[in-house]
Amino acid sequence: MPVPLTETVRFGPGVSPLPPAPPAPSRRRRPGPGALVLGAVAALVVLYLAGRPLGGHTLAVEGITLTRSTAVLRCDETVRVRAAVRTNGEAGILRYRWHRSDGTSSGVLEERLVEGRRTALLETTWSISGPGTLTPEVRLEVSDPEPDTAAVSFSYSCPA
């Protein structure tokens, strides 16, 4: 059974086009006070999160203390230098290197810290031999999470 047409469609030569339909009236509503509050809260959350590093808090160095096993080194002895790097207790990787006044450097070393560990204990040794008198220095240079440096010196004395 055929379906009746309710609209006539005209096309072909000599038929004028239909006028365009008028645009539907705009039904924009002004946002209510609830929407404004929600937008303000969302903006504050975005600003807060943008200021925080991903994953929450990050590791930070709060100070470095260096100690040496002896203040005076004699002929053919070894000094042990220990570092206590105090942190904020957050998890992360501490990157550092040891520098000696003779120009030797350890290269970059890493210490992985778990959350709650507030001190990283690091150590290096230096053996000196031969005659002479020196005032050598050992320096710890932390490069990450932020740069920090500490140094300690000692005396070396070996008569000829």
pLDDT computed for residue 36 by the predictor: 72
- Residue-level pLDDT, tens digit, the chain, 160 residues: 565 555 555 556 666 666 666 776 767 777 677 777 777 777 776 665 555 455 557 999 999 999 999 999 999 999 999 999 999 999 999 999 999 999 999 999 999 999 999 999 999 999 999 999 999 999 999 999 999 999 999 999 999 8
Beta strands in 50-131 (DSSP E): 61-68, 72-73, 77-87, 92-100, 109-113, 119-128
Q: Cα–Cα distance between 148 and 142 in angstroms, integer?
A: 5
Instruction: Round to the nearest angstrom and report the end-to-end CA distance of the chain.
Output: 123
pLDDT of residue 45: 65
pLDDT at 3 (0 to 100): 57
| pTM for this predicted structure | 0.64
Instruction: Quote the pLDDT of residue 67.
Output: 97
| Alpha carbon distance 89, 66 (integer Å) | 19
Residue with tokens 């230098």: 81
Backbone angles phi, psi at 40, to 5 degrees: -65, -40
The angle formed by the CA atoms of residues 140, 143 and 146, to the nearest 5 degrees, is 115
